[in-house]
Amino acid sequence: MNHRRIAVPILVLVALLAIGATSVGAAKTTLTYWTHSHPPMVELTKKLIAEFEKENPDVKIEYTAVPNDQFFTKMLTAMSTGTGPDVFNMSATRIAAYLDSGVVMPVMPEAFGFKSEEELKNAWVPGTLGMASKNGTVYGVPSEYNVSALVINAAHFREAGLDPAKPPRTWDEVRSYAQKLTVTKNNQIVRRGFDFYYVPNFYWLDFGILMLQHKGHILDENGQCVINSQAGVDAMTMWYDMVYKDKVAGPQYSLKDSTNVMIDFARGDVSMFISYPWGLGLLQDSPVWNDTVVVPLPQMDLANPVTHCYGYYWMVNKDTRDGALAWKFVNHLASYPELWLKEVSFIQPRKGWTNTPEAKAFPYIDVWMDEMSKSTFGDMSPAWAEISSAIQRMVEKSIMNGVEPKKALDDAKKEIDAALKQ
């Protein structure tokens, strides 16, 4: 009985102490900085912050890596109550909504050591700042600019009597190669010739690539939804046919994990898939690394090649107390493209990024550079998140439930129209 009599007051005491304890505020200027979470990125960020704090002893950076799934929950809660971070790393898909709401600050060229905005724009590869610009004003610089390429397993190619030096260049070739690469046992696919990502919030990317290459759009110039155009039907039908006709791919194999197809490739269960530069960082530890070859993304029209890319941008809160300092910090982060490439496998398209020894050592740098010159972000809109959600259901309806592509696209158009109207 005795120990319990003591236990209760102790517990109360702990509770009171905890409630009474206040965190000590720092006297220095503090900047808060939030990013999504990717361990190699977090590591390098911490290193760069330590450096910045050393160079600016009166500044303290409070850095938080927020799990990607919850990033916008935290971000919006904070922004709506005036406690948003000073600097943050924002997905290109959401920038339109933030620009539209006027909560971010235009870049300060002086903080980067430039005399004018023109000079700043000239320092990046043309076209790579467009995603974070509105009416000619730049609001952010890219922290990762992800272009896509095809990754193939050379050993599987040789096994199937194909020459890895002659990879598929068009989607028709991908389909015929994939049929040769696919291995079936007892009516079951045990190795997929090619597969897509089956990640709910990534469907738009794979679909976007196919749509762009079919010269179609999700939204037209007036912002009207045209997803169910003939181009859309053709794009979706190709995906559909690879699953149901060619039987080289299949959503059932997926874990709906952002890297599932990559893990399957790494284990030798997939022969070809679309990857981004950061994928190589993950594949380097895998058993198939020696047979991994990166080749240009297949095209529909070889004369007019085009690829879809996505990225993240550093942006600054309009309400930050010291805008110049915030942009100075961004400039610090953006000044080491070679480290970002080497340690995190992120491309930062600041001019000259390809001239460093680190870039020259990066696997298949020529392919990535070439793909970058063909890349575009596709159709972005403040309502992009809802469009992506409609695309998720559309792809699942068609690819998982076997509904005809045309019908799935018509449904998606209805949903997107409703979302744009609300």
Partner 1 sequence: MAARGQAARRIKISELATYAALAIGALAVAMPFLYAISTSLKDPFEVFEIPMKWIPAVAHWENYVKPFKTMGLARNFLNSVIVAVSVTTLNVFTCSMAGYSFAKFRYWGRDFFFLAVLATLMVPLQVILVPLFELVKRFGWINTYRGLIIPAGTSAFGVFLMRQYFLTVPSELMEAARIDGCSETGIFFRIMLPLVKPALSTLVIFIFMNNWNSFLWPLLAVTREEMMTLPLGIASFESTYSTNYPQLMAVSMASTLPVLIVFFTMQRQFIEGMALSGMKS
Partner 2 sequence: MAVKAKRPLYKRKESFAGFLFAVPALVLFAMFAVYPIVRTVYISFFDYNMLKPPVWKGIGNYTSLFTDPLFGQSVRATIVYTLGTFVPTIILALTLALLLNSQLKGIGFFRTLYFTPVVMSMVVVAIIWKLLFSFRGPINQLLSPVMSQPIAWLSNTRYAPIALSIMGIWKNVGYFTVIYLAGLQGIPREFREAARVDGASPWQLLRYITLPLLRPITVFVTTMAMISGMQEFTAQYVMTGGGPNGATRVISLIVWETAFVFMKMGRAAAMCVLLFLALLIITVLQKKWLLNSDY
Residues that bind partner 2 (CB under 8 A): 69, 72-73, 76-77, 79-80, 97-98, 101-103, 187-188, 198-201, 251-257, 383, 385-386, 389, 392-393, 396-397, 400-401, 415, 418-419, 422
Residue pair 344/89 in contact (Cβ under 8 Å)? The answer is no
Residues touching partner 1, count (CB under 8 A): 49
Residue 7 or 255: which CB sits closer to partner 2?
255
**Residues numbered 332-391 forming contacts with partner 1, rule: CB under 8 A:** none
Residues 287-326, one symbol each (x = binds partner 1 by CB under 8 A, - = not), give x---------------------------------------
Angle between helices 405-421 and 384-395 (to 10 degrees): 160
Residue 71 or 340: which CB sits closer to partner 2?
71
Residue 88 or 145: which CB sits closer to partner 2?
88
Residues 165-184, one symbol each (x = binds partner 1 by CB under 8 A, - = not), give --------------------
94 binds partner 1 (CB under 8 A): no
Q: CB of 222: closest distance to partner 2 in angstroms?
A: 21
Q: CB of 379: closest distance to partner 1 in angstroms?
A: 23
Residue pair 191/271 in contact (Cβ under 8 Å)? The answer is yes
Going by DSSP bridges, is the β-strand pair 137-138/133-134 parallel, antiparallel, or unpaired? antiparallel
Q: Which stretch binds partner 1 (CB under 8 A): 164-172, 256-264, 347-355, 385-393?
A: 256-264
Q: CB of 18: closest distance to partner 1 in angstroms?
A: 4
284 binds partner 1 (CB under 8 A): no
Residue pair 100/48 in contact (Cβ under 8 Å)? The answer is no
Residue pair 147/375 in contact (Cβ under 8 Å)? The answer is yes
Q: CB of 258: closest distance to partner 1 in angstroms?
A: 6
CA nearest to 346, candidates 193, 128, 59: 128
66 binds partner 1 (CB under 8 A): yes
Residues whose CB falls within 8 Å of the CB of residue 14, separated by 6 or more in sequence, listed in order: none
Locate tokens 């491309």: which residue? Answer: 347
Cα-to-chain-centroid distance, residue 49: 23
Rule CB under 8 A: choose which of 50, 51, 55, 64 binds partner 1: 64
Residue 77 or 230: which CB sits closer to partner 1?
77
Q: CB of 33: closest distance to partner 2 in angstroms?
A: 19
Residue 144 or 269: which CB sits closer to partner 2?
269
254 binds partner 1 (CB under 8 A): no
Rule CB under 8 A: choose which of 103, 160, 183, 282 binds partner 1: 282
CA pair distance 328, 316, nearest whole angstrom: 11
Residues 14-53, one symbol each (x = binds partner 1 by CB under 8 A, - = not), give xx--xx-xxx--------x-x-xxxx--x-----------
122 binds partner 1 (CB under 8 A): no
Q: CB of 188: closest distance to partner 2 in angstroms?
A: 8
Rounded to the nearest 10°, the torsion over CA 47, 50, 56, 62 is 100
Residue 50 or 255: which CB sits closer to partner 2?
255
HEC profile of 304-345: CCCEECEEEEEEEECCCCCHHHHHHHHHHHCCCHHHHHHHHC
Length of the chain: 422
The residues that touch partner 1, with contacts defined as CB under 8 A, are 11-12, 14-15, 18-19, 21-23, 32, 34, 36-39, 42, 62-70, 73-74, 76-78, 80-81, 83, 85, 257-259, 262-264, 266-267, 269, 278-279, 282, 285-287
